[in-house]
Amino acid sequence: LRDFAAVHSARGDVVRFIGYNPIFEVDLMESFAAERGVEYDNFRDPIGDLQIELDITSFPTTVFIASDGDVVDRRGVLDADQLDAAIDELLAAD
C-alpha cells in the first residue's frame, strides 16, 4: 500500500485510485490504510459483490478501469515503478 500511496500522491490528479477490502472491519481497514499513507477512497464489501463482478480470484489484484467503466487491465502484485509504468502504458493506449 505504501507504493500505491506514493504513486497516488504523484498522479492522483490524473488517475483515480480506489481501495477495496472485502475482509477487514471498517476501523481496521481505515487504520491499516492510514498507517501506510493512503489518502484515496477505500471501500469495504463484506458480501463480495465487487469481487464477483470484477472476477477477482486472488489478492492483491489491481484492476484498471477506463472512464467509461470498461476493465482494461488487471495485474497482481505491483511496486511503485511497475504501477507507474502500467499507468503510463494504459494512458498512452487510450
The 10s digit of each residue's pLDDT in 71-87 is 999 999 999 999 999 99
- Short-list 30, 28, 36, CA closest to 4: 36
Whole-number pLDDT of residue 22: 86
Percentage of the chain modeled with pLDDT above 70: 99
Which helix (H) or strand (E) is 13 found in, with range?
A: none
Q: Are 2 and 36 in contact (CB under 8 A)?
A: yes
Please tell me what DSSP assigns to residue 83: H
Rounded Cα–Cα distance for residues 45 and 85 (Å): 29
The 10s digit of each residue's pLDDT in 2-11 is 999 999 999 9
The 10s digit of each residue's pLDDT in 31-59 is 999 999 999 999 998 899 999 999 999 88
